[in-house]
Amino acid sequence: MARREESPASGGGTFARPRSAGMVRPIRPRRNRRADWARRLVRETVVTPDDLIWPIFLVAGKGVREPVATMPGVVRHSVDEAVRAAAEAAGLGIPAIALFPYTDPALRDAKGSQALNSDNLVCRACKAIKDSVPEIGIITDVALDPYTSHGHDGLLEDGRILNDATVEVLVQQSLVQARAGADVIAPSDMMDGRVGAIRAALEAEGMIDTQIMAYSAKYASSFYGPFRDAIGSSATLVGDKRTYQMDFANSDEALREAELDIAEGADMIMVKPGLPYLDILRRLKDRFAMPTFAYQVSGEYAMICAAGERGWMDRDRCMMETLAAFKRAGADGVLTYFAIDAARMLNDA
């Protein structure tokens, strides 16, 4: 109903003024968004270079920076180039890198024997980086897929992955990497009991300070394709990995997996992939309050880059938005191929 007020023009008469014109709005959330300084002042989630882990692919040779066709801007580094990359990351404030090898097909076999070679690519890179860039953390992947001729994370017999026999090999792989200087052992294989076995072996060797970052909720996902190209397992993979990686329809199962890994001695837990599984990330963080990480995997990276190249999206803005989404959902840090670009942007801001 309109409110009646005196009209100065009519000498005391009245006129109708719509209530909306004089409505008082004491609460206006937009006030805190009106300027850049105001948005920064009240921002709830902040991403810094400290939140980033940079995955680096390794390849044999010297002076090699070999592009990965399905991951624009990503290259495989020879060990000497990986040292330079690690120095660049450290200079930008990135606290850790994660190493993944491309193994010469001639060195792959059914048992993944090259994983136990103390002079393999990962071990050589660990030693070289520790010598030259001791301030950066090194995370090493524990799984057999970069080394097996069949492309699986474990030992294969009659089409079946052997859990316990695989764990025995993973333990030895972990020890080889830790002796080479790895700070964090990151089992990504999803074999039952591997975290406890690795922890016991590290303790027995006196390596009590070596951390374990467990891929606790690693899903059998379609988003891994470019990564498999980068490590060379896409062409060799026999079948799929659904008997040991998690069903993407499940959520409660992730809680059980994480609870087991924590009980077995994991220092940190991880969700992989990232963006399609933010609900899992939030549940794990809320339930366990553990250092919790997300892996923004190769498929996520490739999609953003491809859309950016075609002008369909702003690559850099999407990059920063997704990183903030991980932090907002509960991640303490993110493994991302955007790490270098994001750190540069954050340092320049």
Binding site membership: which residues?
257
What stretch of H or E contains 7? strand 3-7
Query: Which residues touch 136 (CB under 8 Å, ≥6 apart)?
Result: 86, 89, 90, 94, 95, 96, 97, 129
d(CA 260, CA 82): 34
Cα 87 to chain centroid, rounded: 20
Which of these is catalytic: 218, 241, 285, 327? 218
What is the sign, positive or negative, of the torsion defined by CA atoms of 278, 283, 289, 295?
negative
Amino acid present at 336: T
Direct distance between the N- and C-terminal alpha carbons of the chain, in angstroms, rounded to an integer: 51
The residues pairing with 336 across neighbouring beta strands, listed in sequence order, are 296
User: Angle, to 10 degrees, between the axis of helix 79-91 and the axis of helix 339-348?
Assistant: 30
Binding site residues for Mg(2+), as ranges?
257
Catalytic residue among 62, 130, 241, 272: 272
Which tokens is 304 given?
Answer: 């953003």
Query: If we measure between CA atoms, which residue out of 160, 222, 147 comes closest to residue 191?
Result: 160
Q: How many Å apart are CA 214 and CA 202, to the nearest integer?
A: 15
> Over the range 87-105, which residues count as b (16 or more CB within 10 Å of their CB) and which as e?
eebbebebbbbbbbbbbee
Residues 6+ apart with CB under 8 A from 17: 2, 3, 5
Beta strands in the chain (DSSP E): 3-7, 13-17, 52-58, 65-67, 75-77, 96-101, 137-142, 155-157, 160-162, 184-187, 211-218, 268-272, 292-296, 333-336
| Residue 52 falls in which region: left (phi positive, over 0), alpha (psi -120 to 50) or beta | beta
Q: Is 218 a catalytic residue?
A: yes
Per the DSSP assignment, residues forming a β-bridge with 160 are 157
- Under DSSP, the state recorded for 345 is H
Positions marked active-site: 218, 272
